Structure 1
Amino acid sequence: MVEFDQYLGWLAFLTIFTIGFWLMIFLIGFVVPYWLGGNLMEMWKEKREARKAQRLEE
């Protein structure tokens, strides 16, 4: 028979594991694409500004 302390420990483990799982899904689904999109936009801006500066020098 499972004692009450073991039951609470199992519930605590499941809660922490589930929170970690959903946090990982959130990070992969929303934060990583946001970070990648922001970096790509910054790279494009820098390249565009470099081209403008090069045209002004000529």
Structure 2
Amino acid sequence: MVPLLLVLLLALVLFGAGFALKALWIIAVIVLVLWALGFVMRSAGTGGKRGRWYRW
């Protein structure tokens, strides 16, 4: 009974880790797309220079 519970626990942990990693990849792609859009659509500053769309 204990080996069966250990295998089920391992499967549950691996499933959870796989789901978390997939969710992190999706979040990373969304952030990358938003960054690229902000880089392309930034407004022009004074003197015709392109301004930074971020604060740092």
Question: TM-score normalized by structure 2?
Answer: 0.62
Higher helix share: 1
- The separation in 2 between residues aligned to 1:22 and 1:50, in whole angstroms, is 40
Alignment gaps of 5+ in structure 1 = 1-17
Question: How many equivalent pairs are there?
Answer: 40
| Structure 1 stretches of 4+ moved >2 Å | 18-21
Name the structure 2 match of 1:33.
Answer: 15
Alignment gaps of 5+ in structure 2 = 41-56
5, 29, 35: which is aligned to 1:53?
Answer: 35
Amino acid at match of 1:26: L
RMSD: 1.2
